[in-house]
Amino acid sequence: MPDSPALADPRRWRTVDILTCAVLAVAFGVVFWAWNFAWAGLEPALAFLPPLKGILYGVWLIPAVLAPLIVRRAGAGLLTEGLAATVSMLLGSFWGLLIVFQGLVQGLGGELAFAAGRYRRFGTLTAVASGALAALGATLFDVIAYYPTFDLWAYKVPYIASAMVSGGIVAGLGSQALVKAMLPTGVLDRFPSGRERQRV
């Protein structure tokens, strides 16, 4: 789907926008909490090439892309990703309070792609870039907070790169696929993304 313009001022938030971001955050906060265990279980399988575990990152980045694709408001990704990380922490995240800060960094990274298009472009390239940039923010946080002594080229760079691929595919293309799947149901009709369907 080519990039398409937003249908409303991205600076004007409505109650339904806030509630939607909150609902997405709670839902994905539970997903995050469950994915923590999946990460712990799958990480040993990638022990032959530890930086490759970055490919597991995409699931944690979905709200940073999905929320802006749906509500098309500046800050939607930051808000939703940050709240989802907070819910995950409250449910018992392995990483404690740090995960909230990381969620905010992920959300900010995802916002950059939409901000670059002045919140007027929501197509495939923007979604993929958003997912990749969310992963970049997340893994830069990781290498500073968790892996400061690891080798740059042997670990940090391939770890960041594999996460960015995962972010672009899982969070970027995955979020866009979720929006497309929801469009025919009419559940998005109160949002700019849904009203575009009505105009076609």
Per-residue pLDDT reduced to its tens digit, 173-182: 999 999 999 9
Residue 199 scores a pLDDT above 60: no
Of 58, 78, 56, 57, nearest in space to 67 by CA = 78
pLDDT value at residue 192 = 84
Q: What's 156's DSSP letter?
A: I
Q: Domain tally for the chain? A: 1
177 domain residue, yes or no: yes
Q: Tell me what pLDDT residue 5 has.
A: 47
Q: Is residue 94 part of a domain?
A: yes
- pLDDT attached to residue 200: 39
> What pLDDT score was predicted for residue 196?
64
Give the pLDDT confidence score for residue 8 in this predicted structure. 56
For residue 83, the model assigns a pLDDT of 98
Model pTM?
0.92
Whether 7 is in a domain gets the answer: no
Mean pLDDT across the stretch 6-32? Answer: 89
Residue 162 lies in a domain: yes
**Helix ranges, the chain (H):** 15-42, 62-71, 76-92, 98-116, 124-145, 157-166, 174-182, 192-199
| Helix, strand or coil, per DSSP, at residue 155 | helix
In a domain, 103, yes or no: yes
Mean pLDDT for the stretch of residues 151-164:
98
Q: What is the mean pLDDT of residues 162-179?
A: 98
Q: Is residue 182 part of a domain?
A: yes
Identity of the residue numbered 125: L
User: Does residue 149 sit within a domain?
Assistant: yes
Residue 197: predicted pLDDT: 54
- Residue 113 burial class via C-beta count within 10 angstroms: exposed 0-12, middle 13-18, buried 19 and up: buried
Examine residue 1 and state whether it is found in any structural domain, yes or no: no
Q: Give residue 195's domain range.
A: 15-199
- Percentage of residues in the chain having pLDDT higher than 70: 94
Residue-level pLDDT at 11: 73
Q: What is the DSSP string of 110-147?
A: HHHHHHHTTT---SHHHHHHHHHHHHHHHHHHHHHHT-
Residue, of 10 and 127, whose pLDDT is higher:
127
3-state secondary structure of 96: coil
Query: How sure is the predictor about 2, in pLDDT bands with cuts at 50, 70 and 90?
Result: very low
Higher pLDDT, 192 or 111: 111
- pLDDT tens, residue by residue, 75-99: 999 999 999 999 999 999 888 999 9
Q: Of 13-17, 31-35, 169-173, 191-195, which range is least confident? A: 191-195
Average pLDDT over the chain reads 92
